[in-house]
Amino acid sequence: MFEASVKAKQFRRGQTVEGTIVSIGPKVAFVNIGGKGEAEIDVAELKDHEGDIEVSVGDRINAMVVSTSGGIVLSRKGVRNTATLRELEDAFQAGLAVEGKVVQEVKGGYEVRIARERAFCPLSQIDIIRTTDPGVHVGKTYAFNIIEYKDGGKNVVVSRRKQLEQEQRVNAAAIRKSIVPGAVTTGRVVSVPDFGAFVDLGGGIQGLLHVSEMSWTRVSNPNEVVAVGDEITVRVLRVDEATERISLGLKQLQDDPWTTAAAKFPVGQVRTGRVARLADFGAFVELEPGFTGLLPFAESGIDRGMDMRKAFPIGSDIEVAILEVDPEARRIRLSKKAVAEQREKAELRDYETRQDTEPSASMGSIADKLRDALGRRDN
């Protein structure tokens, strides 16, 4: 015990050491970290997600010293399931994570239960992103860092944000390698400005999902598509190595409606659309959600000098004819004048048809009258 105590003094809490596993028992494994003494580590920390021990006797591992009282105790994952104030203090001194459950909301933050002990987590320290719904964390179990330990454990303040930031720094390099143009990845929406949304891809790496890349239909308000905290799947469009800017797309993972545009809008067809917006050169008319065509001024059917805003108020319905469809350029050219021309031609055809039938009817009537007259004369 004396030798173990002397050896323990050579190490300090929070120190990272490398050692060789010399034996693995049912609950504890012993690690040779140099000298005559051995350190111990919980076997649970040597298991993978399936519950199988992932190391063997003779393997070398890196671990952190979490206690030097009466011997050296190591941890590879930080302090979990701490049960005493002494363990909390050790974790605080060593800067290790502890596992706690968010019990309830309190003024300014949350009450967190760490085994039998109670701690406080400020609202700003519960997550990396701004929490819009504080209640979403209640009942969840997280890893926390102890940022204050006062009054013998009566005043313990913890931070999940600090733990997440540490994990981000560890994962950032690996995540950045996977972010290449064309890659499909998941992320969490961290903010939604007017021009789009910033998405956390992990490791503190953020990309911009521009409003124009959210949907094949026109999106005027990005909040209609995504919200802070949403988990979404996106495609990496561009990566600027110089500025470290990452451009993301959401609509690229959806079916492109323009592939059927030519069949949906045959040239010459007359459709009713809604005036979506106006420009000096014409009006943009929404034919269907996702399909907006241009009605040039020259095809509007109004005289030069007239105000298109008065002729075609935004939101009004108008009839237009399809002049041209270009799926690759995502353009549809419309005409109001062509609608009037089609109607004139239709009226002319109706008139000609009536003219063809009316003389025949008229001649038949005259012949009948003539026969009647001759019949009366003979009589």
285: nearest Cα among 356, 339, 242, 335: 335
Residues 261, 244 share a domain = no
**Within a domain: 142:** yes
Query: What is the number of structural domains in the chain?
Result: 4
Residues 304, 292 share a domain = yes
Residues 286, 221 share a domain = no
Write down the pLDDT at residue 372.
66
Residues 186, 153 share a domain = no
Domain boundary among the residues 120, 137, 164 is at: 164
Domain boundary among the residues 75, 100, 122 is at: 75
The CATH number of residue 192's host domain is: 2.40.50.140
**Domain range enclosing 140:** 85-164
Coil vs helix vs strand at 177? helix
Write down the pLDDT at residue 1.
45
**Within a domain: 139:** yes
Amino acid identity for residue 245 in this structure: R
Say how many C-beta atoms besides its own lie within 10 A of residue 199's C-beta.
Answer: 25
Residues 277, 315 share a domain = yes
DSSP labels, 1-42: -HHHHHHHTTS-TT-EEEEEEEEE-SSEEEEE-SSS--EEEE
Residues 56, 89 share a domain = no
**Within a domain: 351:** no
**Within a domain: 59:** yes
**Within a domain: 350:** no
**Within a domain: 360:** no
Write down the pLDDT at residue 2.
42
Question: In Å, how far are 128, 141, 229 from 133, measured between CA atoms?
Answer: 14, 17, 10
**Within a domain: 369:** no
Domain boundary among the residues 117, 132, 164 is at: 164
Q: Are 249 and 182 in contact (CB under 8 A)?
A: no
Extended beta strands in the chain, E state: 16-24, 28-32, 39-42, 60-67, 73-75, 97-106, 109-114, 117-122, 141-150, 155-159, 184-191, 196-202, 205-210, 231-240, 245-249, 270-279, 282-288, 291-296, 317-326, 331-335
Q: What is the mean pLDDT of each run of 10 residues along the chain (379 residues)?
A: 49 78 92 81 81 85 80 72 65 82 92 86 87 84 89 87 79 79 91 93 87 86 90 93 89 83 87 89 87 89 81 90 88 89 77 65 56 59
- Record the pTM: 0.45
**Within a domain: 187:** yes
Q: Are 337 and 299 in contact (CB under 8 A)?
A: yes
Residues 129, 55 share a domain = no
In angstroms, the CA 13 to CA 234 distance is: 43
Q: Give strand pairing partners of 333.
A: 294, 324
